[in-house]
Structure formats: structure tokens, C-alpha cells
Chain A
């Protein structure tokens, strides 16, 4: 299905500035793996020119509008309105035609069955963790640690809970859950849990802190990154990040779209990742 024209099934604001879009996508359920992403063409005109990358939140089936027809297969994205592209997306309605390139990139490795799984989401970075949680709850205890600046940044928590995921929330202003950073919650959890694996997606400073904490506890970590990208298929080389062993003399860049967006933390050179880059879905778009 890689590049296809389709239509929007629903597009709703779920929290101030946060939107959920359901897109008809035949074949999506079988094709998408947790952690993969899509490229969304906002308009068929030249503004904005480039497609926008979004983590795939979930796939599924909904009943057809027409009696007797089979259920309609869909995929869903959650996005935050932060720029021209996402603002235009929020103006789209059910039935509007859109163009999608999906699924793209490498997803999460589900890790060892039975081992406790801790998911860490920061704001809209929670998006790629949902399909992962759906997969992991089959054979592991799964906890979600979800952080945001305010309560408005805490989205879709009840959907994780419905899967049987134990959820913890923290906000920087204390308007929901514990006051503080989600990484403080992670630190405490890892002090209590002997054997766990961590999966994280969120802003770069959060991911760096998660990496430090997991390294200290000797816990395996996978992170989902997002970078500015033009093509999404490994051709433009616009979305690279510095890999482990990178040096000015021997540079080693990894392509976020093709070799990622999910990386094992030891694949990356954390000391040299661009601090100015923002990797969470929807940022700068």
C-alpha cells in the first residue's frame, strides 16, 4: 500500500491543540508494526510543499456506513497543532481526500516476553507507544509513565488503561498527577523493579534523561526519534542523527526515517545529538 490516496474518516480535537485523525487505509492492520510512521500530504497544492511525518497511533476496523459492506480498515494519528502544516490539517473534515505514504521505518523490537515493560511518553511523543502497548500486554506487565507540561498535554491515557496498562502521570505544573518530570517517576520505578525494559518517545531533553537513567540502572532502552524529513524513505538524508562512535574525523550518521525512527539507545551518540532538534511528533510542523 505504500503511497495511496484515501479519505479521512474523522478528525477531532481531543484536548486543547491536540487532534486525532482517523484515515481509511486498506491493509493497514496487517502492514503496520508498532513504532512505524507515515508521511502525510496536507494538500495536493504547493503549500505546504513537503509531507509531514507522524507516528502511527493505532490501526483497526470500524463498521461501514453502508449496510452489508465489510468493516472499514483505518489507521489513526494524533497530532499537535504547532505550525502551518498541522494547522491546515486541523481544518480537514470527514470525507476529505488525502495522500499517505505508509507504513515507513523500523518499529520497536518487543523485547523479552514476560519481562516488565515500561513505556515513557512525553506529550505527543506518546503516539507510537500505543500500538506497542497493544502488542506487549499479551505477554508482559506494561506500565506507562506519561509526562507533560500541563494537564492538556496528557492525552489518550484511558485508552492505555483499557488495554490493562498501569498508568502514571506527571505534569510540570502539577495540574494532573504528580508534580514534576516524568523522568523522576521513571527513576523511582526503576529503583523498585529489578528486571525491566524501557521504551520512550518524547522531546529530546526527556529522551536524554531517560537514556541516562536507564544506563545507570543497566536497563535496555529503545527510543523513537523524529527529525525533520523531506522524503521519509532514505533518499534525502535530511533526517540523520549522530550514531555511536561518531566523531568529526569519522562521522557516523543514522537515517531516522530508514534506520529508525526506533533506535536502541546504544546505537546513538547521546553526547552529540543536536540539542536544538526536536524529535517529538508534530513539533515545528
Chain B
């Protein structure tokens, strides 16, 4: 029996539904010695801003139970350096490349979108309106439906490529933001970004990361992410990419069955550079074992609703 793992998200054809979560995979080249990038469904690069961004003071990360807390602060090379120095490597790959980006203002969102739209080899973009670790650069646009609409709207006006909008879980009702993004022209949504958290060193009585709070990621957040993907899938018509604590094929299957059309693997890449390959292999094995010829038949197959 031959199994098809191929999926399509927002018009982007992927050989399988597995891609890295932005911010956990650099610009692709960092992991090239460890994993065959051409085996991935897509590559999602580190979030870009109009100008290079230095990020937050250290310490920036700390480990928590089955998770990690980070406040990197969106350190990145900036969109122009990305085009000049990172795209030459990425354009040689036989895998769709999706550039994640953010802005400080609506104008910046529009400007970065315009510059990314001009790169023919980019399959699509992922708009970050959800980073919890910087004052500007996302969260203000991601927590209010009106602001989310405006951010997606300005990007849509400057972009012909497929547009994925990454949502924050740090809201009372994620479906409101999801609908606002859809109304403003998003082609797909990815959910979720990290959950705001805090860890304290009990001896020094100081926060364990310099930013005081950070984004919680890793297996600890997976049930929250599955719940939110399930909610968002019910609320919108556009495809949803599931992300949050995926490190095995079974984790990925939970999201697909909940209705996600594809998945992103994040923190697990740090733990095991081979994590995504193992997820892909595991999905194929699962389909073979279950007699499933096309993985798309699993999407949204949740029973007992």
C-alpha cells in the first residue's frame, strides 16, 4: 500500500504536513547538518522585522517541567539581510519556504510584507501578531480583534502570496481573533504561539529570565494547543496549522484529527534535531498500520462531537 502524506495549506503544496515552528529552526541552514531539509513539508524561518533586531537581555531561556520558557525578543537579521544572505541557501531547497515576519507599526507590517512579496522563491509568509516577549512586535495586534484585523488587512493589501496568520493563546477567546484575521484576508492560521509564563529562582528570588516573563513552549502546552486548534477550526473556514508541544507522530495526529491541515514542530527541534523526520516517518507508519491511504482523510476526523 502506498501512503500519501501530501497536504495543501493556503495553496502551498507540501509533500507532508510537517514543518518547523518559526523561531525554533533559525533560517534553515543551522539544522542542515542534522536533517534533510528537503524531506520537510515546508520550512518556516525565524521572524523578520524591517530592520535587524537585537533581542532581549540574558538570561533568555529557562527549562520548566516538560517545557521551556523563552524571551529571546525576536532577535533577527532584518528583512534585507534575509534576502541577501539567507535566501541564497533557501532557494536551493526543494521544499516550500515560508518567511515569518512582524512589525512595530502597521506601516512596518505593510513594508515588510511588500519586500517579502517580491521574493519569487518564497512560497508564502506567516504573519506574527502574537509574540508575547516584546512590547511592540506582535502581541498588541494579536490580542484585540480590531487591531488584528487592521494588521492582517494592511499586510493583505501589500501581499499576493499565501498569508498565514499566527495567533496567540494569550487571549480570552481565540476564535474572535481567528475570525478577525479571516475577515481581513488571511489564507490560513497557525495556532498557537507560546503561552506567557514566569519562573522564579527561589534562592535569589529573582525571575529566571531577564524579561521577567517569557513564552512557554514544549510538551507542557500541547493540550492547550489542541483545544484551541479544535475551537478555531470550528470558527473559521480557512485551514489551520496546529502548533504547540508536538514532538512525536502521535502528538501531530492529535492536531490533525482535531482539524489542523498541517503541523509545526518547535521546541522538539532543540531537544532532537531529528524530531521532524521522526514525526514524518511516524505518520507514514501510522497510516500504514491503520490502512489509511491519504493522510488528508484524517484531518478533522474527530469522533464524538
Q: How far is the CA of A48 from the CA of B220 in the complex (A)?
A: 12
Most buried by A among B25, B219, B271: B271
What residues of chain B lie closer than 8 Å to A238, measured between beta carbons? 59-61, 70, 72
Is B120's CB within 8 Å of the partner chain A?
Answer: no
Asked whether any CB of chain B lies closer than 8 Å to the CB of A252, the reply is yes
Given A236-B70, A239-B58, A252-B54, 18 more A-B residue pairs with CB atoms under 8 Å apart are A3-B34, A50-B63, A50-B270, A50-B271, A51-B271, A228-B59, A228-B60, A233-B26, A233-B30, A235-B24, A235-B30, A236-B24, A238-B59, A238-B72, A240-B60, A258-B30, A274-B57, A274-B59
In-complex Cβ contact of B61 among A99, A228, A251 (8 A): A228
Residues in A neighbouring B231, C-beta threshold 8 A: none
Q: Are A240 and B34 in contact (CB under 8 A)?
A: no
- Is B269 part of the contact surface with A, judged by Cβ < 8 Å? yes
A101 at the interface (CB under 8 A from B): yes
How distant is the Cα of A46 from the Cα of B68 in the complex, in angstroms? 11
Q: How far is the CB of A81 from chain B (nearest CB, A)?
A: 17
Which of B33, B55, B70, B219 contacts A49 (CB under 8 A)? B219
Chain A: residues with Cβ within 8 Å of the partner, total of 32
Complex: chain A residue closest to B33, CB-CB: A2
Interface residues of B (CB under 8 A from A): 24-26, 30-31, 33-34, 54-55, 57-63, 65-68, 70, 72, 75, 204, 206, 210, 218-219, 267, 269-274
Contacts of B67 in A (CB 8 A): 49
Instruction: Flag if B61 contacts A276 (CB, 8 Å).
Output: no
Quick check: is A21 within 8 A (CB to CB) of the other chain?
no
Most chain A CB within 10 A, of B26, B60, B62, is at B60
Distance between Cα atoms of A228 and B33 in the complex (Å): 22
Q: Is residue A253 within 8 Å, beta carbon to beta carbon, of the partner chain? A: yes
Q: A46-B219, A49-B67, A51-B271 are in contact. Are A277 and B59 (CB under 8 A)?
A: yes
Q: Which residue of B lies closest to A247 (CB)?
A: B54
Contact B219 A50 (CB under 8 A): no
Chain A contact surface mostly: loop
Contact of B219 with A233 in the complex, beta carbons under 8 Å: no
CB distance from B271 to the nearest CB of A (A): 6
Distance (whole angstroms) from the CB of A59 to the closest CB of chain B? 20
B58 to A274, Cβ gap below 8 A? yes
**Shortest distance between the CB of A105 and any CB in chain B (Å):** 13
> Once the chains are docked, how many angstroms separate the CA of A235 from the CA of B269?
9
Which 4 A/B pairs are nearest by Cβ-Cβ distance? A251-B54, A238-B61, A235-B26, A230-B270
CB pair B66 A240 closer than 8 Å: no
- Bound together, the chains give a CA A41 to CA B247 distance in angstroms of 15
Contact of A185 with B by CB under 8 A: no
B59 and A231 within 8 A (CB)? no
